[in-house]
Structure 1
Amino acid sequence: MTESFLKTLKAELLWRQAWMTCQEVEWALTSYINDFYNPQRLHSALQWRSPLDHERNAA
């Protein structure tokens, strides 16, 4: 599961641009996870729902 996440992270974020500082990368990673990956990105393992939707429906 971790390997799949890291592959997705690299393909969708890290390899798409050149980074000037470590702070830029840190901000981009935080933003990617908190603003896109968890609330919006659809996951096949969750029947094509976002993690937040899955958690809401599981409760």
Structure 2
Amino acid sequence: MKLTTGLVRAGVEASMGSVGDSYDNALAENLWMLIKTECIRGRTFTTRAEANLALFEYIDGFYNSRRIQKRLGYLSPVEFEEKHYADQATAERTNLKPRQPALAS
């Protein structure tokens, strides 16, 4: 309750979900399952710093940039963004072609 009141006073909107929804928890559980499966399982870290670096490299170096996503047409975010800008450049080149003068009758 204090959190909600604080958010309202600060003009901040809560991320998603409402009382009784499991969306926030389900998304977090899914992310942690992937991290455990793809990054942590089977590895031993000698220091907390080593574990933190492994997590950072996985999340920022792979999960957020190179992991393919169904919503992006099975492209990674980097590939999707590259395609977007390439398509945009092609559209701009097409729109910049000089118009042919109208034929005089």
Larger radius of gyration: 2
Gaps of 5+ in 1: none
Residue 51 of structure 2 is aligned with which of 25, 34, 40?
25
Give the Å deviation of 1:50.
2.5
Please report the TM-score for the alignment, with normalisation by the length of structure 2. Answer: 0.45
Please report the TM-score for the alignment, with normalisation by the length of structure 1. Answer: 0.74
Provide the residue aligned with 2:61 in structure 1. Answer: 35
Structure 1 stretches of 4+ moved >6 Å = none
Which structure has more relative contact order (CA 8 Å, sep 6+)? It is 1
Count of residues in Structure 1 that have an aligned counterpart in Structure 2: 54
Structure (1 or 2) with the greater helix fraction = 1
CA deviation vs aligned residue, 1:5-46 (integer Å, no higher than 9, x gap): 1100000011131111100010011111111111111123x2
Gaps of 5+ in 2: 1-26, 85-105
